[in-house]
Every structure is written in C-alpha cells, then in structure tokens.
Chains A and B, each alone.
Chain A
Amino acid sequence: SSELTQDPAVSVALGQTVRITCQGDSLRSYYASWYQQKPGQAPVLVIYGKNNRPSGIPDRFSGSSSGNTASLTITGAQAEDEADYYCNSRDSSGTVVFGGGTKLTVL
C-alpha cells in the first residue's frame, strides 16, 4: 500500500518562512492535502488540491508539489501556527493514506 513520509519535527523563527514536506509515490498522480492539529483538537484542513485554502485559512499557508514530493509553506509563521501538520492523499485504488506528521515549533 502507499506510504507518505514526513520529517518528524521542524522549527521556524517567528515571522520567518517554513516549508514542511511530504514524500510518496502516490503524489506523482494525486494531490496532497494538509491538516493542522493542535493539542486536544480535531485536525483542520488547511490546503487541498493544487493549492486551495478552505474558507478561514490565512493566505500565509500555501501548497505546492513536484514529482513525488508535496510541500506546505507557511510564509511569516505566527505563534498560533505551532501545531502538528499531517499530509494525506489517495491512491489509484481509492484508499487514503496519511503521513506520520510533522511537529512545527515556532521559536
């Protein structure tokens, strides 16, 4: 089955730009979606499709993809962006897979 690989932890200085990556074969054919999860809360979709933000998601969040790697970029990271971030995608059989998650620390 498909797998998605994320770095376990990333840090960024307040106001700087950070990129969180997700690698997997399914990403060559399907877009990644990205979720933000804060402690004790349900995940929130922040990016889906080519580079779409649901209503209410700040425009400092953006997505991109190249080959087997998808990226979530936060431009001008804020303290409230400190959270766990998960990618996911589907594959050709219709199954869904999540990455292992990246813990983002804002310094």
Chain B
Amino acid sequence: QLQLQESGPGLVKPSETLSLTCTVSGGSISSSSYYWGWIRQPPGKGLEWIGSIYYSGSTYYNPSLKSRVTISVDTSKNQFSLKLSSVTAADTAVYYCARLLERLGAFDIWGQGTMVTVSS
C-alpha cells in the first residue's frame, strides 16, 4: 500500500534553511486525485499546515509561513520537498508529509514524521 517517508537533517542552525524530502512508495505521486502536503507539530502543541503541492507544481501555502516556504515536486523520483528559510527555535517541530484529498481537505495517508530541532 502507499507509504510516505520523510528524510532530512534532524538539526538545523538558526537563520539557516530547513530542507526535508518526502518519498512516496507503493503508488504514483502523479495521481490526478491528490495533492501532497507538509504539516508540522511543535513539541506538546497542535498541528499546523505548512503547504501543499500538486504533481504539476501548483502550490498552496500557509499565509503565516508563505514568505519563508518553498514546496517542490520531483515526479521522476516520486518525491516532494520542503524548504523553510531563516529558521528560529520556533520552527522546532515534528514535520510530517501526507497525501491530501484536496477537494475535501483531508490528509488520508501520513508519514511517520521527522523531528527537526533548530539550535546552534
């Protein structure tokens, strides 16, 4: 069945750029029915949507993060990626990638999540 797996550095220095990749296996990222999204969860806090992308490259971003976020897709590798610039300690969180039923706004399949700590 479809699986998603996040990968990337677990430690990022303040002011630098956080970069994560989500690899989709067991299915195609080019499915016309779905978007692909990033969600994060700071320790002990709730879920925050970061942004979503379609296989064509069309994107939606959280307005509060839009100036710092770039989400891209590589259909040849069945991957999509997140870049978050100028990070601070407030960006420390578990970062999840997930498949999005865009019409319904429902994330139906999630990766296991990866913890990213922003610290010098």
A residues sitting closer than 8 Å to B (CB atoms) are: 1, 30-31, 33, 35, 37, 42-45, 48-49, 54, 86, 88-90, 93-101
Contacts beyond the supplied A33-B105, A37-B47, A95-B62: 11 A-B pairs with Cβ under 8 Å: A1-B63, A31-B105, A35-B47, A43-B107, A44-B110, A45-B106, A54-B108, A96-B62, A98-B39, A98-B47, A101-B46
Q: Mark B83-119, 1 if CB is under 8 A from A, else 0.
A: 0000000000000100011101111101111000000
Are A42 and B105 interface neighbours, CB within 8 A? no
Given A86-B46, A95-B60, A96-B52; A42-B104 close (CB under 8 Å): no
Whether A95 contacts B37 by the Cβ 8 Å rule is no
**Alpha-carbon distance A48/B100, docked complex (angstroms):** 11
Total contacts A-B at CB 8 Å? 70
In the assembled complex, the Cα of A101 lies from the Cα of B46 at a distance in Å of 6
Choice from A1, A31, A48 contacting B108 with Cβ under 8 Å = A48
- A104: min CB distance to chain B, Å: 14
> Cα distance A30–B7 when bound, in Å?
32
A46 nearest CB across to chain B (Å): 10
Contact of A95 among B49, B104, B106, B107 (CB under 8 A): B49
Q: Pick the contact of A33: B37, B107, B113 (CB < 8 A).
A: B107
Instruction: Determine the chain B residues whose CB is within 8 A of the CB of A90 once the complex forms.
Output: 102, 104-105
Main secondary structure of the interface of B (DSSP, over half): strand
Contact A45 B107 (CB under 8 A): yes
Cβ-neighbour of A97 out of B49, B106, B107, B113 (below 8 A): B49
Q: What residues of A have a CB within 8 angstroms of the CB of B96 in the complex?
A: 42-43
Can you offer 17 A-B residue contacts whose CB atoms are under 8 A? A1-B64, A33-B104, A42-B112, A43-B107, A45-B107, A48-B106, A88-B47, A90-B104, A94-B60, A94-B102, A95-B49, A96-B49, A96-B60, A97-B49, A98-B47, A100-B46, A101-B46
